[in-house]
Amino acid sequence: MKEFRTVVASEVGLHARPASLFSRSAKESGCIVRLAKVTDGAISEFIDGTSILRVMTLGVKFGDEIVVQVEGETEEVTAAALQILAEIADH
């Protein structure tokens, strides 16, 4: 399993288009992808990162820290791609 923490750079956080791109990329990877929001140092419950609805309901805003876990055959490449998506300022 590959895990990383990053700060979301999109002005709208992981809402609408950024959430769609993130969840679609996660789903297309074929890996198990879990996502959690970090608030005051505490990690929320992990959700299914392949579900746009679950990603959006996590309420990740600009500047929020997230933790992503990726498990599967392409976990290294998938984790790197998802980290880039989370860190892109404009989607």
Q: What is the pLDDT along the chain (91 residues), one digit of tens a residue?
A: 999 999 999 999 999 899 999 999 999 999 999 999 999 999 999 999 999 999 999 999 999 999 999 999 999 999 999 999 999 876 5
- Output the domain CATH number for residue 45: 3.30.1340.10
Characterize the bridge pairing of strands 65-71 and 47-48. Answer: unpaired
How far is it, in rounded angstroms, from Cα 71 to Cα 33?
7
| Counted domains in the chain | 1
Q: What is the pLDDT of residue 88?
A: 87
How far is it, in rounded angstroms, from Cα 2 to Cα 11?
26
How far is it, in rounded angstroms, from Cα 56 to Cα 69?
17
Q: Which residue has the tokens 């956080």?
A: 13
**Which residue range(s) make up the domain with 62?**
2-87
Residue 58 dihedral angles phi and psi, to the nearest 5°:
-65, -25
